[in-house]
Amino acid sequence: MATRLNIFAIAVFVCMTAFGPVSQAQSISSTPSTKQQLSTIIFAGLGGGVLGLSTLSFYGRPQDRLENIGVGFAIGIIIGVSYTTYQAATRSYVDAPPVEPELQLAGESRFQQAISQQDALKLGWNWSF
C-alpha cells in the first residue's frame, strides 16, 4: 500500500511541475481549442501510464503488478481533465471570442420585441381567505 501511495505522490508531483504556469507563460495562444485540451488529457494519461510502467522494475515479479500501468493512466487522465477544466474555468472574459454585431443586435431586438408585446402571458397569484 505504501508503494502505491509513493507512486501516486510522484505522479502528482511530476504532473504539477510539468504543467505549471511557467510552461503556459510561453504559450502563444491564450485560449486553447478543444483539440489542444484533448491532446493535453491524452498526453497526461500516456505520461501516467509510462510512470506506472516504470514502477514495474521495482518488483520481483512485474507480471503480478501490471495494474500499475492502468492506475497510472487513470491518474494521468484525471489530472489532465482537472487541469484543462481549471484552465477553462479561470479564463478571463477578455480572452473570449467577440460576438458578431449582427448576432448581438438580432438577440437584442428579439428581447425588445418580447417585452413590448401587449398579448404577453401575464402571470400572477391571488390570495383569498
Task: For residue 117, tell me if it sits in a domain.
Answer: no
Task: For residue 52, tell me if it sits in a domain.
Answer: yes
Task: For residue 10, tell me if it sits in a domain.
Answer: yes
As for how many domains the chain has, the answer is 1
Task: For residue 98, tell me if it sits in a domain.
Answer: no
For residue range 15-54, what is the model confidence (pLDDT) as tens digits?
Answer: 666 665 554 444 445 567 888 999 999 999 999 999 999 9
Range of the domain at 72: 1-19+31-92
For residue range 52-107, what is the model confidence (pLDDT) as tens digits?
Answer: 999 998 988 988 889 999 999 999 999 999 999 998 888 766 555 565 555 555 55
pLDDT for residue 82: 94
Using the structure block, give the residue that is written with the C-alpha cell 484543462.
84
Alpha-carbon gap, residue 27 to 22, rounded angstroms: 9
Measured at the CA of 7, the angle between CA 89 and CA 75, to 5 degrees, comes to: 35
The alpha-helical segments, DSSP class H, found in the chain are 2-18, 21-25, 34-54, 67-89, 101-116
Task: For residue 108, tell me if it sits in a domain.
Answer: no
pTM of the predicted structure, to 2 decimals: 0.51
Alpha-carbon gap, residue 61 to 119, rounded angstroms: 78
Task: For residue 3, tell me if it sits in a domain.
Answer: yes
